[in-house]
Structures are given as C-alpha cells and as structure tokens.
Amino acid sequence: MSAAALPATVHTLVVGAGFAGLAAAAAVLAEDPGADVLIIERADEVGGTWRDNTYPGCACDVPTSLYSFSFAPSADWSHTFARQPEILRYLRDVTDQYGLRDRLVTGCELRGAHWDTDRQTWQVRTTLGELTATVLVAATGALSTPKLPELPGLDAFGGTVFHSATWNHDHDLTGERVAVIGTGASAVQFVPEIADRTAHLTVFQRTPAWVMPRLDRTLGTAEKTLYRRIPLAQKMVRATVYAYRELYVTALAHLTWLLPLVQLIARARLRHQVRDRALRRALTPDFTIGCKRILLTNDWLPTLARDDVDLVTAPLAEVTESGIRDNDGHHHRVDTIIFATGFTPTEPPVAHLLTGRDGATLAQHWAGSPTAHLGTTVTGFPNLFLMYGPNTNLGHSSIVYMLESQARYLTTALRAMHDSGLAAIEARPEAQQNYNTWLADALADTVWNSGGCSSWYLDSRGRNSIMWPTFTFRFRSRLRTFDTADYRVERTHHKVQAG
Ligand code: N01
C-alpha cells in the first residue's frame, strides 16, 4: 500500500505489525472479512522484534509449537526452537496468507494520537499524514526499544558500538577484541556464536542468571510430513507442550518452595560445564531461580570458560578512547562494544504518544508504573486496546497465546460495540482498580516479586507491572467475554450511561 493510500478514516487502526499487530488484525478479519481495519508499521516489513533482532544465533527460547499462531500452524520449522530468519519468514507468510498485506501501510510511524471527545474518535498523526480511527490498537511491542546505559566517555570511544537489537552486520568482528555488556537472554545466544571469530571477548556481567539446558532438536522430514498430512498430530504436540509448560507456573507462582530443587539441576550443570571455581562462583546467582528470566542455553557457560573469553564482574566505570575501565581500575582494551542491555518494557515510548480524554498522555497517567484493565484497556483512554499490555508477560509459556487471547477480546469488544450501537467504551476506574488489586495479591508470593532479584519485571516504582501471575488459561478465560459492566459506554456524543 502506498503513502497515497493512507485513508482519511478507518474503523480499527492497528499500530505495529509484529506478532501482536498481526494477531489483532487477523482476529478482526476472521470475525468479519469485510472489516475496516488497517495496520501501520514504521519499518518496511512486518515482523517486529523478529525483524529487528538479527544478531548471530538469534532464536526463540520458547518451543515453536507454542510460539506460533494457533490459527496458522506450519510444518516447516527446522528445530523445536525456531531460528530468527524462519520466524520472520513465518510472519511474512502469515501476512500474505491471511490477507493482511492489503491492510498494511509500511514506512508509516505513529507520531501521536489523541482522543477527540466530541467526535468519539482517535485523531492520529503519522509520518505519512493524519487519519481518524474509531478504535486504536497499540501493538508496538514491549521489547522494541533498545536500552542503552549512559556510560561516561562513550562518545569518545574510538571503536565500533552497537546494540544487540540493531546488530551491525557490516562490521566484521573477526580478529577483534570485543566487549559485551549484559548477560541476558540475547547475550547468551550471540556470545557463543561470535567467540570463534573474535580474538578476545570480554563479557561484563552485572548479575549472574540461572541457566538451564535448551532441549532443542531438529525436526526431520518424517515429522514434518506427519504434521502436513495429519494436522491433528501437530495440534496434539502443541497441546502437550502447552500443558507441561503450564505446570512450570505452578512452581514459579504457587509452590515456590519447589524452585530450590530446580536450582540443584542448574548448579550441577554449572559444575559440569565450568571447572574453574572462581568463575563458577561468579556465575552463581544469589536469588531464586525464575526470579529473572531463566536462560535456556547449552553453549553459554562453556564459552565463558574459554581461555580467550573473560568474565568481568566489576561494575563499569567509564569508556575510554580505546576500551572500558571497570570499577576495580582495570582497563579492558577493545575494538568493539556490543550492548546486550535489553529493552524498556516498563517505559514504552508509545505511552508518550497517546493522549486520553483528559488531555494527559498515557505515560503521564502511568507515571512509570503501567496499569490497565485485563492488560488491555485503560481508564481515560476510550476505544484503546493495548496488545502485550501491562502484566501480560510470562515466565513459563508463549506470549503468542496471550496475544491471541487479547486479539479475541478485541473482536468480542468490537462485536459488543456494534451490536449495542456503542460509539465508545472506556474501562471504569473501579473495574481497573479491582483487577489490579487482584493482580497485586496474586503476584505477591510469586518468585518474580519475592525471589530476591532486581529484574525488568519491576518498574521504577518497584511494582511488578510486567508479569501475568498464574496459568495462561485463566487469562484467556477472563478475556473470553466482554463485560460491558466494566465499561463506561457512550452511544452518541457525550451521552455517558448512568453509573
Ligand atoms: O535483555 P535483558 P535481553 N550496566 O534485559 C544487563 C526477550 N528475549 O535483550 O541482570 C551493566 O534480559 C542486565 O544486567 P542485570 C526476553 O523476554 C526473548 O537479553 O539487570 N549491565 C542484563 O544482564 C528477554 O528477557 C528471546 O543486572 C547492564 C542484560 O544487560 C528480553 O528479550 C530471546 C546494564 C540485559 O538483559 C530481554 O533480553 C532474546 C548496565 N547499565 C530475548 N543495563 C526469545 O527467544 C542492563 N544490563 C523469545
């Protein structure tokens, strides 16, 4: 679709074409193939985080049988944990096969949107022009804005610098001395991939994470043929993986006393993979497993044990023209610095772009601590749906399941609006409050809140505004119906229903 094709008005505008935006648009079209729905995407292709993250070794650390759309099974996956290029290919195929390409405007970035109380619509500004939308779906992703720590001296560094999420493929690391800052889910995937190429690697670790094996295997021709010929077989595998993954949350959220037993496995593996005692000590976390995301990898620990790889646990002091000085005063000479320092999920930039009924932005409402009703709708922001909203992230299963739950909720809400002739729906403050009180209670004893770590699940106010606290089927069940009692509804201009 070209710039000229950006319409003046649209009923449902989806911002972002990653898993979340595609799930939302596909659900709306599945419900009504003639629906007036448009997706705008700032990049030139769909894919979201799976388009942007192209670092060596980038792969999914959730089994692909779950980390794919239930409505679009594929028998083409190479491994049980799919690699980034094939996930991106899959999302492109879904876009084509489900008629989403015709509804997509690429190279179109959201500049701002405000709720127009008189017109009961969203007035949307984009880089390609303005448009009016009745319903706005923010599907801009939680892990889309790379976080770069402010390090003194970084500007003066004479070498190359990039973030894992914006990998510089034009830069050859062969024979270089490379620093990697951060030891999270991204670093553990690319560090083993580049270690053979670099002359020397220095990995700066702030907090060690618990590591468990990634039980990955290739999918052979026989298995793929089976899935192609008998789709039910693949559905059964998906159901089985779903069921055993749900068991994990029992320990993470409900029976946390079980977690030290899981730690024994991680400790035994660490002992087996790292012979050096001092290194092992440096790599042993002091918090309960699961508090931070468990890293699934088979080659991270052996890579850190290599002679040409150093692990530095002293905090970073400054960047110099030729390297990094740590707080112990050691200077590490490097040619390239790679930040694997994660993203800004509790400070999503889109929140600064959305202005609600009272003229304040979502970021101002949230003040550093995102809240929503059912992780999806927000008081003061009529007809706004957040995909991957507050408290929808998981430590045990697939976010795609949550996104599909939210997409169905969106379609249920749209149907309710249509059937009842509603122009606007807005979460009632008390409904949102009750929901968040329940969340806070449910999260209190989970490992994410009480496991003794500091993680990106906790926002600037120390509140857990990221994690869903229990089984994913409970999320789906809560979002199965659209309860108008939870909403202030407007039929026509300014006629807010009593209550
Ligand atoms: O980022 P992270 P990531 N100085 O935030 C460190 C998803 N993901 O890109 O632990 C020094 O996990 C920070 O240290 P600490 C997944 O949800 C999914 O690796 O905060 N260090 C940490 O070690 C994941 O959770 C897949 O003390 C600093 C690291 O940088 C999320 O993306 C694959 C620092 C950041 O780790 C993010 O993963 C990959 C500073 N100032 C990622 N600031 C899938 O397969 C941060 N750090 C689905």
Answer yes or no: is pLDDT of 5 > 90. Answer: no
Distance 68 CA to ligand 1 centre (A): 23
pLDDT of residue 496: 47
Average of per-residue pLDDT across 15-34: 98
**8 — pLDDT class (breaks 50, 70, 90):** very high
Q: What is the pLDDT of residues 125-158, one digit of tens each?
A: 999 999 999 999 999 987 778 999 999 999 999 9
Distance 282 CA to ligand 1 centre (A): 18
Distance 206 CA to ligand 1 centre (A): 11
**300 — pLDDT class (breaks 50, 70, 90):** very high
Closest ligand 1 atom to the C-alpha of 143? 32
Query: Which residue among 307, 339, 371 closes a domain?
Result: 339
How far is residue 440 CA from its own chain's centroid? 21
Is the same domain home to 311 and 352? no
Distance 169 CA to ligand 1 centre (A): 21
Whose CA is closest to atom 6 on ligand 1?
A: 182
62 CB near ligand 1 (under 6 Å): yes
Q: How many whole angstroms separate alpha carbon 364 and alpha carbon 299?
A: 43
Average of per-residue pLDDT across 93-108: 97
Residue 347 CB-density burial (10 A; 0-12 exposed, 13-18 middle, 19+ buried): middle
Distance 340 CA to ligand 1 centre (A): 6
CB within 8 Å of 147: residues ≥ 6 apart: 341, 342, 343, 344
Residues paired with 354 in a beta bridge? 113
Q: Which of 143, 316, 337 to mutate for ligand 1's pocket (most ligand atoms within 8 Å of CB)? A: 143
184 CB near ligand 1 (under 6 Å): yes
Is the same domain home to 299 and 392? no
Which strand (E) or helix (H) includes residue 331? strand 331-333
Closest ligand 1 atom to the C-alpha of 207? 27
Average of per-residue pLDDT across 185-190: 97
Is the same domain home to 350 and 325? no
Distance 182 CA to ligand 1 centre (A): 6
Residue 212 phi, psi (nearest 5) = -130, 160
61 CB near ligand 1 (under 6 Å): yes
Distance 207 CA to ligand 1 centre (A): 10
Closest ligand 1 atom to the C-alpha of 187? 19
pLDDT of residue 498: 43
Answer yes or no: is pLDDT of 478 > 60. Answer: yes
3-state secondary structure of 266: helix
Answer yes or no: is pLDDT of 335 > 50. Answer: yes
- Quote the tokens at residue 305: 């044990």
Please report whether residue 284 resides in a domain.
yes
Query: Which residue among 292, 315, 339 closes a domain?
Result: 339
Is the same domain home to 165 and 95? no
Which domain range does residue 478 map to?
A: 3-145+344-497
Q: Which of 62, 80, 186 to mutate for ligand 1's pocket (most ligand atoms within 8 Å of CB)? A: 186
The chain-wide mean pLDDT, for the chain, equals 95
Average of per-residue pLDDT across 26-55: 97
pLDDT of residue 62: 95
Average of per-residue pLDDT across 240-256: 95
Strands 104-105 and 37-40: parallel
340 CB near ligand 1 (under 6 Å): yes
pLDDT of residue 425: 98
Query: Which residue among 313, 339, 365 closes a domain?
Result: 339
Distance 331 CA to ligand 1 centre (A): 24
Q: Are 272 and 377 in contact (CB under 8 A)?
A: no
pLDDT of residue 361: 98
Please report whether residue 237 resides in a domain.
no
pLDDT of residue 493: 64
Whose CA is closest to atom 12 on ligand 1?
A: 184
Answer yes or no: is pLDDT of 4 > 70. Answer: no
The CATH number of the domain holding residue 272 is: 3.50.50.60
Answer yes or no: is pLDDT of 497 > 70. Answer: no
Q: pTM of the prediction?
A: 0.95
Please report whether residue 234 resides in a domain.
no
143 CB near ligand 1 (under 6 Å): yes
396 CB near ligand 1 (under 6 Å): no
342 CB near ligand 1 (under 6 Å): yes
Please report whether residue 385 resides in a domain.
yes
Please report whether residue 465 resides in a domain.
yes
Please report whether residue 221 resides in a domain.
no
pLDDT of residue 279: 98
Domain count within the chain = 2
Q: Which of 377, 363, 372 is nearest to 424 (CA)?
A: 377
Answer yes or no: is pLDDT of 108 > 90. Answer: yes
Please report whether residue 422 resides in a domain.
yes
Looking at the chain, the whole-number percentage of residues with pLDDT higher than 90 is 95
Is the same domain home to 436 and 420? yes
Distances, alpha carbon 208 to alpha carbons 312, 344, 454, in Å: 11, 20, 12
Measured torsion, CA atoms of residues 305, 306, 309, 311, in degrees rounded to the nearest 10: 10
Answer yes or no: is pLDDT of 2 > 50. Answer: no
341 CB near ligand 1 (under 6 Å): yes
Please report whether residue 114 resides in a domain.
yes
149 CB near ligand 1 (under 6 Å): yes
Closest ligand 1 atom to the C-alpha of 186? 19
Is the same domain home to 206 and 319? yes
**409 — pLDDT class (breaks 50, 70, 90):** very high
Is the same domain home to 88 and 173? no
Is the same domain home to 316 and 416? no
pLDDT of residue 494: 52
Is the same domain home to 415 and 299? no
pLDDT of residue 264: 97
Residues in the chain: 499
60 CB near ligand 1 (under 6 Å): yes
Is the same domain home to 351 and 409? yes
Is the same domain home to 319 and 379? no
Distance 455 CA to ligand 1 centre (A): 9
Is the same domain home to 181 and 314? yes
Q: What share of the chain is helix, strand, coil (3-state, %, to 5)?
A: 35, 20, 45
58 CB near ligand 1 (under 6 Å): no
Distances, alpha carbon 143 to alpha carbons 43, 73, 140, 347, in Å: 15, 24, 9, 10
